[in-house]
Amino acid sequence: MRDGFVTEGTHTNIFMLQNGTLYTHPADRSILAGVTRGVLIKICDSLGIPVSQTPFTPEQMRAADEILVSSSLMGIRSVSELDGSPVGGNAPETVRAVREAYRKRFTEETDA
């Protein structure tokens, strides 16, 4: 959190999916841009999912259709609970498409 907006996790970037658009904090001095974050943005572009690099609040995140976190070590994961309350789960097809595209790209780029 910075100035009331969600920025990033300790070792992750944070996204929320709302009404078909993926939101993430702008890559400015508030966050580390993240390699996987960049790949996820490119994947969304290729799938026709709009991406908005716009700060969002915890309240907006709690109401999101989906919450995702990404890192180079774990890839892309869905968040199902926030502060002990269930969140997300309202756009599983979009999450599935994004994760499958990420796995495909990872496999293609790392398969020797």
Q: Report the C-alpha gap between 7 and 93 in whole angstroms.
A: 25
The model's confidence at residue 112, banded by pLDDT at 50, 70 and 90, is low
3-state secondary structure of 98: helix
What mean pLDDT do residues 46-51 have?
97
pLDDT digits (tens, 9 = 90+) for 59-86: 999 999 999 999 999 999 999 999 999 9
Q: How far out from the chain centre does Cα 81 lie?
A: 15
Quick check: 17 pLDDT over 80?
yes
- Which band of pLDDT confidence, cut at 50, 70 and 90, is reported for residue 109? confident
Average pLDDT of the chain, as a whole number: 94
Q: How confident is the model at residue 32 (pLDDT cuts 50, 70, 90)?
A: confident
